[in-house]
Amino acid sequence: MAHIFEVIDKFGRKIHLSKERWGQHIKPIHPEIQNPEEIEEVLKNPGIVNPSDRDENVRWYYKYNKQRKRYFKVSVKYLNGKGYVITAHYARKIE
């Protein structure tokens, strides 16, 4: 599977964004996200990282966006020690 990017997060874990997730999910459903670099930046420098309350293998990465007055949230699922981006969107609050 082709990746748009692969980064090492602040915890030293590899995370990738696949072309499929970007092109078939994030970009069409969340058009406010202009480019994958926005997602990459949140993963590299999150303000907060919380565990999901729905799936023990998912972490939510947040970074506050002053212009939008919202949090940019990136959901990452971890399998076999590596992570992949599930989705990304703007959220009013941190969960």
Exposed/middle/buried for 72, CB within 10 Å: 0-12, 13-18, 19+? Answer: buried
Q: Which of 25, 10, 44, 2 is nearest to 89 (CA)?
A: 25
Contact 95, 50 (CB under 8 A): yes
17 has pLDDT over 70 = yes
Which tokens hold the place of 54?
Answer: 């729905």
The set of residues, in sequence order, having a beta carbon less than 8 Å from that of 1 and lying 6+ positions away, is: 18, 19, 20
For residue range 30-69, what is the model confidence (pLDDT) as tens digits?
Answer: 999 999 999 999 999 999 999 999 999 999 999 999 999 9
What DSSP character marks residue 90?
Answer: E
pTM: 0.93
Domain boundaries in the chain?
Answer: 3-91
Q: Which pLDDT value is given to residue 1?
A: 63
- The Cα 84–Cα 57 span in angstroms is 11
